[in-house]
């Protein structure tokens, strides 16, 4: 009988050889965020001159995304499920597209063949004795896409941390490219005085024993700074970063009180520095699962005292949250915000928290706005929103009338804008 070790050898190729199977007009799904396989993406981009109309589907692109750079548009069309620093210009200049979709539902775009997948490029660890590889820091949509794809090409990287949870077997892979390479890292954000005050306000809402979801950025990280005195916190989060490691090492995060997946850090992807990657490597308490499990509001809602903490660009006086557009420009994406807002709403004792600085542009723009920018999307609806937090306080909007919401939101806006917000709210009949 031929065992997997023999089949493994048959699948070994160079990156250049592996990407030769990609044809013009194929749809290529790339492993997510810090799990992107740099060697495979570079080999694909090197074929730009001989390819046309290859669609590259990616969510948070943490690499240089050369396929989305100006001059590449004939070869590659970028389809962003989230817009980030390296892809924003392409989407703005119409060389790329943005496709709105709740993160929890992205796998179904592939499995229901709404977006049939030809090729998946991803990173895996070397196999264990049974031939199973860990997907390291990106399971999310990457594993479901791989299970649907015509061809699965992996960069096998021994520097990728071996995380628990979902795995992929060598038999599911088409080509294997052995290449050790340092992972893409997310540097810890700058946390200023405003973020610290917001963090402190948010932390005041979090009880001992709560399970947390934390979004990306300075505010979620600032919240963690104020949780040092809490007890027995748990993590069930779309992603987590270095801040969680510090609280785990300090004994604050134990996952003991989680209602499901007790004792485990559960997430769908990870972004951070080597400190995070070393913490999760071979750690039996860290489990990553596809995003249609982790971000499923029904799963999230089973946790008692589930706290979701996310940020926004603007909140209007009715409580509508815009977390993704600056005017008509797509700045980021919906990600898992609504998945977790809805999950936390279902949770007994749960709270969903939208935390944002009261102003933008050096204090010139109020982020608590009479209405959202013309052309901006509603990310979290006024029916879903619960707590909104700024450096000036906490507005609890659930069960509040439109009039009471407007008052509560004006009370946490920057003092410089309160008068004008009140005048405009009155003029529009909100108050």
Q: Which residues bind ligand COA (CB under 6 A)?
A: 215-218, 238-239, 310-314, 323-324, 326, 331-332, 335-337, 360-361, 365, 367
Query: Residues of 372-398 as b/e, b for ≥16 C-beta within 10 angstroms?
Result: bbeebbbbbebebbbbbbbbbebbebe
Please name which of 265, 259, 267 lies closest in space to residue 247, comparing C-alpha atoms: 265
Q: How far is the CB of 193 from ligand COA (least distance, A)?
A: 15
- Residue 160, both tokens: 């990728």
Q: How far is the CB of 55 from ligand COA (least distance, A)?
A: 23
Kindly tell me the burial class for residue 158, based on how many C-beta atoms sit within 10 Å of its own C-beta (0-12, 13-18, 19 or more). Answer: exposed
Matching residue, tokens 């917000």: 421
Q: How far is the CB of 368 from ligand COA (least distance, A)?
A: 10
Nearer to ligand COA, 326 or 378 (CB): 326
Given 238, 287, 324, 391, which residue is catalytic?
A: 238
Nearer to ligand COA, 127 or 335 (CB): 335
Q: Is 50 a catalytic residue?
A: no
Nearer to ligand COA, 126 or 217 (CB): 217
Nearer to ligand COA, 292 or 324 (CB): 324
CA angle (14, 80, 300) in 5-degree steps: 100
Q: How far is the CB of 264 from ligand COA (least distance, A)?
A: 19
- Cα distance between residue 76 and residue 97, in whole Å: 11
- Cα distance between residue 90 and residue 93, in whole Å: 5
- Residue 256, both tokens: 């003991």
- Cα distance between residue 431 and residue 429, in whole Å: 5
Q: How far is the CB of 221 from ligand COA (least distance, A)?
A: 10
Nearer to ligand COA, 132 or 331 (CB): 331
DSSP string, 354-417: EE--SEETTTTEESEESSPPTTPPPSB-TTT--EEEETTEEEE-TT--HHHHHHHHHHTS-HHH
Q: How far is the CB of 268 from ligand COA (least distance, A)?
A: 10
Please name which of 181, 184, 176 lies closest in space to residue 154, comparing C-alpha atoms: 176
Are the C-beta atoms of residues 197 and 320 closer than 8 Å to each other?
no
Are the C-beta atoms of residues 64 and 82 closer than 8 Å to each other?
no
For residue 338, what are the contacts with CB-CB under 8 A and spacing of at least 6? 102, 379, 380, 384
Nearer to ligand COA, 326 or 402 (CB): 326
Q: How far is the CB of 116 from ligand COA (least distance, A)?
A: 26
Kindly tell me the burial class for residue 83, based on how many C-beta atoms sit within 10 Å of its own C-beta (0-12, 13-18, 19 or more). Answer: buried
Nearer to ligand COA, 118 or 195 (CB): 195
- Total Cβ atoms within 10 A of residue 349: 14
Q: Which residues are catalytic?
A: 238
């Amino acid at each position: 009988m031929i065992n997997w070790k023999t089949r493994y050898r048959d699948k070994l190729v160079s990156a250049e050889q592996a990407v030769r199977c990609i044809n013009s007009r194929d749809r290529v799904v790339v492993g997510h965020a810090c799990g992107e396989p740099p060697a495979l993406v570079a080999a694909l981009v090197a074929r730009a001159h001989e390819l046309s109309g290859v669609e590259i589907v990616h969510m948070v692109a943490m690499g240089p995304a050369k396929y989305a750079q100006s001059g590449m548009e004939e070869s590659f069309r970028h389809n962003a499920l989230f817009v980030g620093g390296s892809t924003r210009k392409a989407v703005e200049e119409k060389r790329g597209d943005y496709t709105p979709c709740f993160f929890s539902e992205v796998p179904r775009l592939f499995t229901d063949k709404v977006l049939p997948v030809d090729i998946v490029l991803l990173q895996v660890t070397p196999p264990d004795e049974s031939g199973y590889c860990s997907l390291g820091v990106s399971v999310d949509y990457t594993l479901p896409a791989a299970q649907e794809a015509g061809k699965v090409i992996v960069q096998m990287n021994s520097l990728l941390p071996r995380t628990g949870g979902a795995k992929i077997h060598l038999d599911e892979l088409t080509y294997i490219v052995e290449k050790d390479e340092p992972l893409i890292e997310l540097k810890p954000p700058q946390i200023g005085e405003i973020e610290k005050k917001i963090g402190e306000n948010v932390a005041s809402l979090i009880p001992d024993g709560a399970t947390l979801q934390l979004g990306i950025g300075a505010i979620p990280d600032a919240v963690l700074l104020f949780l040092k005195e809490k007890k027995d916190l748990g993590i069930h989060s779309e992603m987590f970063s270095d801040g969680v490691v510090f609280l785990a090492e300090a004994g604050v995060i134990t996952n003991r009180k989680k209602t499901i997946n007790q004792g485990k850090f559960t997430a769908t992807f990870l972004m951070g520095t080597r400190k995070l990657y070393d913490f999760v490597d071979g750690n039996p308490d860290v489990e990553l699962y596809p995003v249609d499990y982790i971000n499923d509001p029904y799963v999230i809602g089973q946790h008692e005292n589930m706290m979701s903490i996310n940020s926004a660009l603007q909140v209007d006086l009715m409580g509508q949250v815009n977390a993704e557009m600056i005017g008509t420009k797509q700045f980021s994406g919906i990600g898992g915000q609504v998945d977790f807002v809805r999950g936390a709403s279902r949770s007994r004792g749960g709270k969903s928290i939208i935390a944002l600085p009261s102003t933008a542009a050096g204090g010139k723009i109020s982020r608590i706005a009479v209405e959202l920018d013309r052309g901006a999307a509603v990310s979290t609806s006024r029916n879903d929103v619960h707590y909104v937090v700024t450096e000036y306080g906490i507005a609890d909007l659930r069960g509040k009338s439109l009039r009471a919401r407007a008052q509560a939101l004006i009370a946490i806006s920057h003092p410089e804008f309160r008068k004008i917000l009140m005048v405009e709210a009155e003029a529009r009949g909100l108050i």
